[in-house]
Structures are given as C-alpha cells and as structure tokens.
C-alpha cells in the first residue's frame, strides 16, 4: 500500500509543479511549451546535442511540433538556431 501512496503523492506534486510552471510561463508571455523547450535547452546533459530530434524526444513531442516551437522562440529572439 505504501508504494501506491508514494506514487499518488508523486503524481500530485508533479501536477502542482506543472501547474505552477505553466502559470509562471504565461506570466512572462510564454506558452508553457515554449518554457519547457527553453528549460530543456538550458538543462541538456553533457554530450546531448540540441538537435530537433533530441529535443523532440526529450520533450515527448513530434518533430514538426518541435520545429514550430523553435521557430516561434527564434522569431522572438529567445534562441538562435544554427543549421548543420
């Protein structure tokens, strides 16, 4: 029973974190997905290149959705993309 209780508490805290995170993003004019992408870029582990494919995988998004997020952030001047 303790495992279920711990899992339920973890899910509750995770949901609270996500709600606070989304609110913080919106308060500075970012869509929550844009915030998550910026956070992912800043926190990528050493050795992981910030390619669209890697970002999409780590964010749980499709390739084209990640491209759209990157395009929007680039248009706002929040990131700079280099093509390989």
pLDDT score of 45: 95
pLDDT value, residue 82: 85
Average per-residue pLDDT for the chain = 95
CA distance linking residue 30 with residue 28, whole number of Å: 6
Q: CA 67 to CA 49: how far, in whole Å?
A: 15
pTM of the model: 0.83
Residues 18-44: pLDDT tens digits?
Answer: 999 999 999 999 999 999 999 999 999
pLDDT at 2 over 90: no
Q: Would you kindly state where each structural domain of the chain is located, as residue ranges?
A: 2-75
pLDDT at 1 over 70: no
């Amino acid at each position: 029973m303790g495992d279920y209780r711990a899992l339920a508490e973890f899910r509750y805290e995770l949901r609270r974190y996500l709600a606070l995170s989304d609110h913080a993003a919106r308060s500075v004019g970012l869509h929550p997905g844009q915030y998550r992408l910026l956070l992912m870029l800043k926190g990528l582990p050493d050795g992981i290149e910030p390619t669209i494919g890697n970002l999409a995988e780590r964010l749980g998004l499709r390739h084209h959705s990640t491209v759209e997020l990157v395009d929007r952030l680039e248009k706002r001047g929040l990131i700079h993309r280099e093509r390989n």
